Amino acid sequence: MTKRRKLYEGKAKILYQGPQPGTLVQYFKDDATAFNAQKKGNIAGKGVLNNLISEKIFSGLEAIGIPTHFIKRANMREQLIKKVEIIPLEVIIRNVVAGSMAKRLGLEEGMELDRSIIEFSYKDDSLGDPLVAAEHALALGWVTDDELDQITAMTFRINDFMCGLFAGIGIRLVDFKLEFGRYVDENGDEVIILADEISPDTCRLWDLKTMKKLDKDRFRRDLGGVEEAYQEVARRLGVLPKGGLEGE
Ligand SMILES: Nc1ncnc2c1ncn2[C@@H]1O[C@H](COP(=O)(O)OP(=O)(O)OP(=O)(O)O)[C@@H](O)[C@H]1O
Ligand SMILES: [Mg+2]
């Protein structure tokens, strides 16, 4: 294989220069971090599973007309994507109270919300990705009004699609995080598209019957069975490799 230029190594993925201008290769690692990288570990096979799970979800989103950075999967750990200028917001959508919302407001995890909530946090590891209001993002020039409207509308559509997808396989989509970016399309127009990944690293997924957690909270909270949980999500989505994960 020809030597590729590594452009960025993050906590869960590596970005390489892609084969065509304006493209990148996104490589999924087994590394896991939590609590702003204070807790570090490794989840065997996670990279492969997240690559396959994210491919499944992004393809489904493309099929309902949501523009995404996903072009195609290259191999078990890599996908070809469109390079975007990442908007420095983590867009979080919540259907059920959990995680930081439960902690911040002193609420019981598992409380159903009357309506889904969209939240934003500022993507800055040195600050611990602090929660911000939409007003902050607008006043500080991180997004325009129009971009924020598009992001919000897309996020609710993505939530509807994903709630249905997971409900169909016996999983409650509790909350998840999205990242968006700016991309110049074939016509030279700047458009907002969905970027990054959607996987058990970035979603809270609870089994509908047993309420068992099938996501990164198993790692964050030392609940055990982390690898099995990621495999279970992949299996139910129909993307678990038949030959197993050995050697991938
Ligand atoms: N299509 C894209 N074009 C450019 N950058 C992207 C694209 N999709 C995702 N990224 C960025 O690539 C990086 C992916 O790596 P990873 O998820 O490991 O990062 P991270 O350690 O979580 O760091 P960060 O805090 O920057 O998200 C992230 O910074 C993400 O914002
Ligand atoms: Mg990330």
**107 C-alpha to center of ligand 1: Å?**
31
**Ligand 1, atom 13, residue with closest C-alpha:** 10
Q: Which atom of ligand 1 is nearest to the CA of 14?
A: 15
Q: CB of 88 within 8 A of CB of 182?
A: no
pLDDT at 246: 72
86 lines ligand 1 (CB under 6 A): yes
Q: Minimal CA–CA distance to 53: which of 176, 230, 247?
A: 230
Does pLDDT of 1 surpass 60? no
Please tell me the predicted confidence (pLDDT) of residue 151: 98
Residue 220 burial class via C-beta count within 10 angstroms: exposed 0-12, middle 13-18, buried 19 and up: middle
Question: Counting Cβ atoms within 10 Å, is residue 51 exposed (0-12), middle (13-18) or buried (19+)?
Answer: buried
Q: Point out which residues pair with 73 in neighbouring strands.
A: 79
Pocket of ligand 1 contains residue 74 by CB under 6 Å: no
pLDDT digits (tens, 9 = 90+) for 192-212: 999 999 999 999 999 999 999
Tell whether the model's pLDDT for residue 244 goes beyond 90.
no
Give the pLDDT band (50/70/90) at residue 243: confident
Q: In terms of DSSP bridges, do strands 190-195 and 171-184 run parallel, antiparallel, or are they unpaired?
A: antiparallel
How far, in Å, is the centroid of ligand 1 from the Cα of 14? 8
Task: Write out pLDDT tens, residues 36-89.
Answer: 999 999 999 999 999 999 999 999 999 999 999 999 999 999 999 999 999 999
Q: What is the pTM of this model?
A: 0.97
Distances (CA, A) of 147 to 77, 152, 176, 191, 226: 31, 9, 20, 9, 37
Expressed in angstroms and rounded, the spacing between residue 195 Cα and the centre of ligand 1 is 8
Ramachandran class of 153: left when φ > 0, alpha when ψ lies in -120 to 50, beta otherwise: alpha
Tell me the domains of the chain and their CATH numbers: 6-84 (3.30.200.20), 86-207 (3.30.470.20)
Number of the ligand closest to the Cα of 182:
1
* Ligand 1 mutation pick, 177, 196, 199, 216, max ligand atoms within 8 A of CB: 196
**Residue 171 identity (one-letter amino acid):** I
Q: How far is the CA of 97 from the centre of ligand 1 (A)?
A: 26
Among 11, 54, 72, 91, residue to substitute to test ligand 1 (most atoms within 8 Å of Cβ): 11
Ligand that lies nearest to the alpha carbon of residue 123, given by its number in the listed order:
1
**Site to substitute for ligand 1 among 13, 33, 191, most atoms within 8 A of C-beta:** 13
97-149 pLDDT tens trace = 999 999 999 999 999 999 999 999 999 999 999 999 999 999 999 999 999 99
Q: Is the pLDDT of residue 95 over 90?
A: yes
- Contact (CB, 8 A) for 28 and 13: yes
Residue 235 main-chain phi, psi, to 5 deg:
-60, -45
Is residue 158 within 8 Å of 95, Cβ to Cβ?
Answer: no
CB count, 10 Å around CB of 168? 10
153 has pLDDT over 90:
yes
Look at residues 232, 191, 228, 224 and name the one whose alpha carbon lies nearest to residue 208.
232
Q: What's the confidence (pLDDT) of residue 229? A: 98
* CA gap 50, 72 in Å, rounded: 14
Q: Using one digit for the tens of pLDDT, what is the confidence trace for 208-236?
A: 999 999 999 999 999 999 999 999 999 99
